[in-house]
Amino acid sequence: MPQMIIANRLRDGAIVFLAPNDGWEPAIAAGTLIETEADAARLMAVAKQHEGQCQVIDPQLIDVELKDGKPRPTAIREAIRAFGPTVRTDLTEV
Amino acid sequence: MYRYDEFDARFVNERVAQFRRQVNRRLAGELTEDQFRPLRLMNGLYLQLHAYMLRINVPYGTLASKQMRKFAYLARNYDKNFGHFTTRQNLQFNWIKLEQVPDILQHLADVEVTGIQSSGNCVRNITADQYAGRAKDELADPRVYCELLRQYSFLHPEFSYLPRKFKIAVTGSPNDRAAVAVHDIGLRMHKNEQGEIGFEVLVGGGLGRTPYIAHAIRKWLAPEDLLAYVESILRVYNMQGRRDNIHKARIKIIVNQMGIDKYRELVDKDFEFTKNGALKVPDDEVERINAYFAPPQYEKLEDQTQALAKIRSGDRAFDRWMRGNVIEHKVPGYAIVNLSLKAPGKTPGDITADKMDAVADLADRYSFGEIRVTHRQNLVLVDVKQSELYELWHKLVELGLATPNLGLLTDIICCPGLDFCALANARSIPIAQDISRAFTDLDELQKIGQFTINISGCMNACGHHHVGHIGILGVDKRGEEFFQLTLGGSSDQHASLGDRLGPGLPQAEVPAAIRKIVDTYLVVRQQQERFLDTYRRVGIEPFKAAVYGEESQAA
């Protein structure tokens, strides 16, 4: 199952995903899809480095599935983090 | 309304400046998250699922209109236009930016509000009866003692690192609206045999993973001994509390493990040293603080019973609201008005910035500028002239704050749940919304009568599910959300913990299960018996059979 790296951005707490340029993007669609264990380890090392540099807090690998070509976290909790509260879809910016 | 003294004001402003430096150091990389976390929590700043969450204290649930306007300003300018009132009578903002927190705290300090001690292992916001000082059934206004306790426990060096958090609630009325029996310390004002007002002191109550109803540790305590006695309870807890296991660290575990008699013995031993010392509350200090809670300048009015009856007979909706949401005031000609934050389909406790401003305006126009927050997540205007009730009601209807469901089935307590909270296992708000949409018939709600549904998204029980007539607990079963129902809980003066009905249900089945429980109750209740009384009379079996089918009785 593909994975992505999710974190909270330090300065505002916003949910962000590690993106292909090793930057952090608020939109899950802009995040890097991780297909192999080697990539997961390499990119988590990058994320941890960014945590040490006070860019993000608590980066974590999460499982995602592709629906209509778009990534969606498989766990409810991470889906809520990615797309916002299910009770306030009007606030979803992604 | 209590005003900060010089010391309070200076300290809170200094704390804002201190936290500003700490935030800057964190953003500059001079502090790690592990170093910074305890500092931010001391100021009420959590990191939740979507962003930082700021929890702001509303001491004993009393707010000035200018404080509510400040909340509106902050919601509009620093968050997503709304806030959430909690079961500790506090306010939470959900999308706070770390870099803006010092400015937000300064705004709050300007109107004498803080987030200090809204988190952490310290004495949290002290809660009280929302009708304190106004209720007809009240013995005395408990807020002077809440304020004394607040000042005493505010950054108390000995009690800033307790084994776990510590919650105190106070009621001045025999009809407990403050849920004192499910607090670490519950204080009930009552008279002794000599007719003197004092406190019954309860200790070791609480919800969460291991719920307990509190034990009476002292039948009657003189008000002048309040601080000394509370200090002794805290000191024994601080010494005996389980710091080795977070799940066993609350005072309720110690009290229930060692027994209330042994705990009392230890407290009394310590109290021998603390009483008659520096903690003896001087009368002039009580009077000084009490002056801040002096009732407003009421006009000499007569009750408007007949005039109101005439309006009520011609306006059924107003009559319904009067019956449900308006409470008797101790002063003739005045009334206590509850504003429901539980309109059908809405999130319990949520309120928009515009409505916060509107409530502040209504408080200024109709209720001496004061607003109360209830632990059931509603708001109250406590000093409304009866002659102005009809006019006020029209304005509340326009604002969507006049749903006549106070104390009825859709007056649901609900924690933020998995939609917001990092601790939650399941979403609680959609359940509350589903139930409120399933019971919109106001005639039916009134027919069902007094009924509480309390919902928590995890076993930490911020939604007080154990003490709802129906409690709903969200659980995670292999990645799926399920909801366990409990029946028979209550947080009033006859507090009880609910009994588990059976296996958890998926979200879609919860409203139908509530419907089956209600239908069963309506069949078996005697006359106007409340659901809780019916449950206590007939037990769980009829409800279990209704929800799970007859075969469940054999299980």
Helices marked H in B100-170: 101-110, 143-153
3-state secondary structure of A65: strand
CA–CA separation, B366 vs B403, rounded Å? 19
Spacing of C-alpha A61 from chain mean position = 8
Question: In whole numbers, what is the pLDDT of chain A averaged over residues?
Answer: 95
∠ CA B23-B28-B31, rounded to 5°? 65
Domains of chain B plus CATH, in order, are: 6-110 (3.90.480.20), 134-289 (3.30.413.10), 305-399 (3.90.480.20), 413-554 (3.30.413.10)
Give B-chain residues touching A80 at CB under 8 angstroms: 49, 418-419, 427
- Residue identified by tokens 């066993």 is B248
Q: How many domains does chain A have?
A: 1
**β-bridge pairing B127-128 and B168-171:** parallel
- Residues of chain A contacting residue B418, judged by C-beta atoms under 8 Å apart: 76-77, 80
Calculate the alpha carbon distances from B235 to B105, B283, B389 in Å: 31, 25, 48
Task: Name the band, by pLDDT with cuts 50, 70 and 90, for residue B294.
Answer: very high
CA atoms of B108 and B90, how far apart (whole Å)? 13
| pLDDT over threshold 60, residue B66 | yes
| Best of B33, B48, B347, B436 to mutate (most A CBs within 10 Å, chain A) | B33
> What confidence score (pLDDT) does residue B1 get?
79
Residue B554 has pLDDT above 50, yes or no: no
Task: Measure Cα distances from B433 to A84, B347, B455, B511 in Å.
Answer: 17, 7, 11, 10
Range of weakest confidence among A5-19, B20-34, B325-339, B537-551: B537-551
Sheet containing A70-73, strands listed edge to edge, beginning at the edge strand earlier in sequence: A24-25, A15-18, A3-9, A56-67, A70-73
Contact with chain A for residue B79, Cβ under 8 A? no
* Cβ-defined contact of B419 to A75 (cutoff 8 Å): no
Site from A77, A86, A89, A90 to mutate, B interface, most B CB atoms within 10 angstroms = A77
> Is A38 part of a structural domain of the chain?
yes
Interval B445-487: pLDDT, tens = 999 999 999 999 999 999 999 999 999 999 999 999 999 999 9
B4: pLDDT strictly greater than 90: no
A92 found inside a domain: no
Predicted pLDDT at B473: 98
What span, in angstroms and rounded, lies between the C-alpha atoms of A11 and B100?
Answer: 9
Tokens of B254: 């110690």
Angle at B299 between CA B111 and CA B58, to 5 degrees: 25
| pLDDT, tens digit (0-9, with 9 covering 90-100), for B36-56 | 999 999 999 999 999 999 999
Residue with token string 């990539």:
A39
Would you say residue A75 lies in a domain? yes
Question: Which of the residues A53, A74, A88, A91 would you substitute to probe the B interface, choosing the one with the greatest number of B C-beta atoms within 10 Å?
Answer: A88
Q: Return residues 515-554 of B near A (CB < 8 Å).
A: none
- The three-class DSSP label of residue B352 is strand
Q: Is residue A94 part of a domain?
A: no
Residue A90 lies in a domain: no
Across the A/B interface, how many CB contacts are shorter than 8 Å? 69
Q: In percent, how much of chain B has pLDDT > 90?
A: 96
Chain A residues with CB-CB distance to B under 8 A?
8, 10-15, 51, 53-54, 57-58, 74-77, 80-81, 84-88, 91
Calculate what percentage of chain B has a pLDDT beyond 70.
99
Residue B417 — left, alpha, or beta (φ > 0 → left; ψ -120 to 50 → alpha)?
Answer: left
- In chain A, % helix, strand, coil (3-state, to 5) comes to 30, 30, 35
Query: Which residues have CB under 8 Å from B97's CB, separation 6+?
Result: A11, A12, A13, B51, B52, B78
A77 to chain B, closest Cα gap in Å: 7
Amino acid (1-letter code) at residue B283: D
Domain carrying residue A72: 3-83
Q: Does A85 contact B420 at a Cβ distance shorter than 8 Å?
A: yes
Please, are residues B553 and B541 in contact by the beta-carbon 8 Å criterion? Answer: yes
Contact residues for B335 (Cβ-Cβ < 8 A; gap 6+): B326, B327, B328, B329, B384, B385, B386, B389
pLDDT at B201: 98
B555: pLDDT strictly greater than 50: no
B144: distance to nearest CA of chain A, Å?
38
For residue A91, is it within any domain? no
Query: B307-337 burial, b if ≥16 CB within 10 A, otherwise e?
Result: ebeeebeeeeebbbbbebbbbebebeebbbb
| Contact between chains at B28 and A54 (C-beta distance less than 8 A) | yes
Give domain status of residue A89, yes or no.
no
Token pair listed for A57:
């807090």
Element (H, E) at B197: strand B197-203
Please tell me which residue of chain A has the smallest CA distance to B346.
A87
Q: Does ipTM top 0.85?
A: yes
Please tell me the distance from the alpha carbon of residue B351 to that of residue B399, in angstroms, as a whole number. 11
**Alpha-carbon span A16 to A25, nearest angstrom:** 5
Tell me the residue ranges of DSSP E strands in B403-469: 413-414, 453-456
Whether residue B481 contacts residue B507, with contact meaning beta carbons closer than 8 Å, is answered with yes
The answer to whether residue A93 is domain-embedded is no
